[in-house]
Amino acid sequence: MNRQFLSAAAMASLLTVSAVNHFRNPKFYNAVVPRSISTDTGGALGVMTRRQWTHLSGGLEFAAAAGLLLPATRRAAATATTAMYVAFIAGHLSALQRAFGPRGSDQQKAIHLARLPLQLPLIRWAWSLRR
């Protein structure tokens, strides 16, 4: 096995674990969905509920994982995964803003402070799989 395949398999494993968790523990991910795109929070751009967004993102992570494992689709899947991680930044910023709001907890602050900076290495890693 070559290094590129092992890296893609590792990213696919990470995405699969995250995708499964989206369905097993949606409340954790619901908090990351920005209010502006959620119908259950009255968002101006809302087209789905937070739970629906969470399930959609979990499904996208499953699809990305599968695509990364197949050499024929790896480049497209890596590009899409990169875009997905970039798009997730808005959710992480929104969650961080709420964590530091009046109803935020110390635990939420710690979790979201840790998650936001992880996006950059994930973006770089996904982009590197395009080769």
CA–CA distance, 5 with 11 (Å, rounded to integer): 10
CA–CA distance, 42 with 52 (Å, rounded to integer): 15
Residues 34-74 have pLDDT tens digits of 888 889 878 788 889 999 999 999 999 999 999 999 999 99
pLDDT of residue 7: 97
pLDDT band with cut points at 50, 70 and 90 for residue 123: very high
Please report how the helices 3-24 and 74-99 are oriented relative to each other, as an axis angle in degrees rounded to 10. Answer: 40
**Mean pLDDT for the stretch of residues 14-27:** 96
Query: Which of 8, 122, 128 shows the shortest CA–CA distance to 68?
Result: 8
CB count in 10 Å sphere of residue 90: 14
